[in-house]
Chains A and B, each alone.
Chain A
Amino acid sequence: MSDGGKAESKTGKKSRITRAGEDNFGRAISKVAVAQICENVGFESFNESALDSLADLAIRYLLDLGKTAKFYSNLAGRTECNVFDIIQGLDDLGMSTGFSGASEVEFNCTISSGVVTEIRGYVESAEETPFAQPVPHFPVVGEWRLIPSFLQMGEMPGFKHIPEWLPAFPDPHTYIHSAMWNERVSDPRTDKIELARQHRKAERALLNLQQKLVCNGLPVASTSAEPDDYRSGLEVNDIENQVLANLPEDEDQDESPAILSGKRSGEAKMENHVTLLEMFAPAVEAMKDGLSDSGNEGEKNFLSKRPDGLAAKFSGEVRTEKHVSFLETFAPAIEAMKDGHSDSGNYGEKSFPGKRPAVCLEFKGDKNVFGESLDLRIRNKNFGRTAPCFGREDEKDDKKRRVEFILRQSLENQQELT
């Protein structure tokens, strides 16, 4: 309630201040003029109400005088007033107070009229005090915006009895209300089905992409990936099977690059494999020199054959002793490969300048791609990274991230929908 009261008082104040009543401007000016006159007379200050009353009185006097003068001019058969009309009006208004020569009003409508004499005396005696501030011409008349006539609009009035020069009718759309309804009927079920279809489509596309990448030699995901990532897991398993099949083979390392290149010549993403190979090349060489174990050789070959499978293997699933020894020897290299494949790019650039420049893809798995890319870069610095590889890696990073994100979302949604 108190707030209500406050609001009222506020609005009351506002209404007092901002309400533009009729003729407020004229009244304000008359107040100032009257105050100036009073000051000349001898007053030093005024009561607000007294000043208001006197200003109102002045306005009324003006109006009365004008009205009377107009009346007299009309009486004489004129529309425009002249000085005699005013003098007669003054006589009328001054009758109550009285002035000299009031009895001879009818004859003395001129300078010898008592009123005029008084005014003359006043003009001569009173000191001249012009109005304090410049007053603009008022009331200000705004522009007249006339409704265009039929002729101006170029329209023909619909009816015979309406002449052209009259204002035109408003446009029909301003007054005719036509029914509006939504043509498209939205069926929530169909919308849902459509949404599911689109999700599946996106998911399929992503998985195809993933397959391609995996085939090209990049480990898609470790087998320790999420359980719902079954498709990618399957692919990884396929690769692993292939890797295992190749394991017992004994080939020279020198042949392996050729074989690899031959294998991947048809594939678009040849660079990946090359780079992986490159990555292991120095490690393999070191192995050659240092190792005497056949198992290691086998592993070495295995490595050269299937570098993509290596990551899957080395993520922790050591199946044979060979792996163990291999792991021990090539721990740093293995680590690097595990964490990412950006290294491959570096190695590629270093050892095989003749080959196509490395495409550094970091497509390790669902969870690891985002977080470890930074680490990879830091680690790769140690291996002497080159600038172009770095730049390309960023692009691939973003794309891969987006792909992963979409894939994850689609898989989640798939769970919802199925």
Chain B
Amino acid sequence: MNAQSSQQQSSDGRHDDDAALTDFLASLMDYTPTIPDELVEHYLAKSGFQCPDVRLTRLVAVATQKFIADVATDALQQCKARQSAVVKDKRDKQQKDKRLILTMEDLSKALQEYGVNVKHQDYFADSPSAGLDPAARDE
């Protein structure tokens, strides 16, 4: 009985879910994702994903967009944190340039949460003495 009821419930739930899902997918068609459909289709085809339904491609596009937006938000927070930290040290100085720039540093910190290790070289030196103080260089 319980199983039956639970099954019934779940089936009812499933119906509702399905209806909700279809509604959701329909709503997706109204929303135009930033990532173009052609690009998504190309890469899905490359990976073996085969589906003629446009809504699914839209779903994938939206999912990717959300993912990137999440990463960017984290990076932005990192950037803002750094800026506020700097400003805290020197208040008398004119407030730092308010421009928010997506740097590799912030990105790598943000991506570490997602399990993506992006390590960026700070600089490339052509000789060991490059970048040292003139005094040290003379030595």
Contacts and interface: CB of A to CB of B under 8 A. Distances in A.
Interface of A: 26, 29-30, 33-34, 36-38, 40-47, 49-51, 53-54, 57-59, 61-67, 69-70, 79-83, 86, 90, 93, 96-97, 110-112, 115-116, 118-120, 122-123, 126, 128-131, 135-139
Interface string B96-117: 0001111110110001011110
Interface in B35-63: 35-40, 42-44, 46-53, 55-56, 59-60, 62-63
A40 B65 CA distance: 11
Contacts of A111: 17-18, 20-21, 24
Most chain B C-beta atoms within 10 Å of own C-beta, residue among A83, A112, A115: A83
B46 A63 contact: yes
A128 B62 CA distance: 11
SS class, residues of chain B in contact with chain A: helix
A96 B102 CA distance: 23
A67 B49 CA distance: 7
14 contacts: A44-B100, A46-B102, A50-B107, A54-B72, A54-B102, A54-B107, A57-B111, A57-B116, A65-B47, A66-B44, A66-B47, A81-B51, A111-B20, A126-B66
Contacts, number: 190
Interface string B59-88: 110111111111111011001000000000
B4 to A, nearest CB: 17
Contacts of A37: 34, 65, 68-69, 72
A45 B38 contact: no
Interface residues on B, range: 35 or more
B114 A97 contact: yes
B120 interface: yes
Given A43-B76, A86-B56, A110-B18, A66 B43 contact: yes
B27 interface: yes
Contact of B43 (A50, A59, A93, A97): A59
Contacts of A38: 68, 72, 102
Contact of A69 (B32, B36, B49, B76): B49
Given A38-B68, A86-B56, A135-B37, 8 more contacts: A33-B34, A43-B101, A58-B68, A62-B39, A63-B47, A96-B114, A110-B21, A130-B33
A261 to B, nearest CB: 101
Nearest to B76: A42
A59 B43 CA distance: 7
A26 B68 contact: no
- The 3 A-B pairs of least Cβ separation, nearest first, read A66-B47, A66-B49, A110-B17
A93 B126 CA distance: 40
B68 A57 contact: yes
A53 B106 CA distance: 12
B115 to A, nearest CB: 5
Contacts of B123: none
Contact of A81 (B50, B70, B99): B50
A131 B31 contact: no
